[in-house]
Amino acid sequence: MSTATSALLSTVKEPFPKVISPKAHGFIDYGHAMFFFGLGLLCRKHNKRAAMAAFGTGAFVLVESLLTDYPLGLKPVIPFAKHGTMDAGFASASWAIPKLFGFSGTPAAKVFQINSAVEATVVELTDFSSERARRDRLNDGA
């Protein structure tokens, strides 16, 4: 997580309300993956490093989503609570990806930095109860 995001979250006295359900988080995840695949397509001709990072990010989010034990997961291998831990780590990593891939200072780098803050917000607003996710998945007929 970026220093700015960490500082912002540390100023909050009360925990964020957990308003994002496991199923809603799944929809966000698949949209998130498609967003990064789209960014990869947009960057592929003029910023190959950013495109590679975007495709890698999209693939990571997609595979994590398909393997998560929540209503929209395909093969429930990753407990939803662990998914939350992975998302929190990804929020931090997203800020550093432009530097690691060598495209800092570009418009694509700004997208990754904004993603860091958005991802951290989604993590803070999600109810990562694995029991709830499993129950919701079973009730959805998965």
> Does any domain span residue 106?
yes
Non-local CB neighbours of 3 within 8 Å, separated by 6+ positions:
none
> Does any domain span residue 9?
no
State if pTM tops 0.85.
no
User: Mean pLDDT in each 10-residue stretch from start to end of the chain (142 residues)?
Assistant: 60 75 96 98 98 98 96 94 95 95 97 96 89 73 52
Non-local CB neighbours of 64 within 8 Å, separated by 6+ positions:
29, 78, 83, 86
> Does any domain span residue 71?
yes
> Does any domain span residue 5?
no
For 69, the domain range is 19-139
Integer Cα distance of 128 and 83 in angstroms? 8
Q: Report the pLDDT value the prediction gives residue 17, as an integer from 0 to 100.
A: 87
> Does any domain span residue 10?
no
Counted domains in the chain: 1
> Does any domain span residue 13?
no
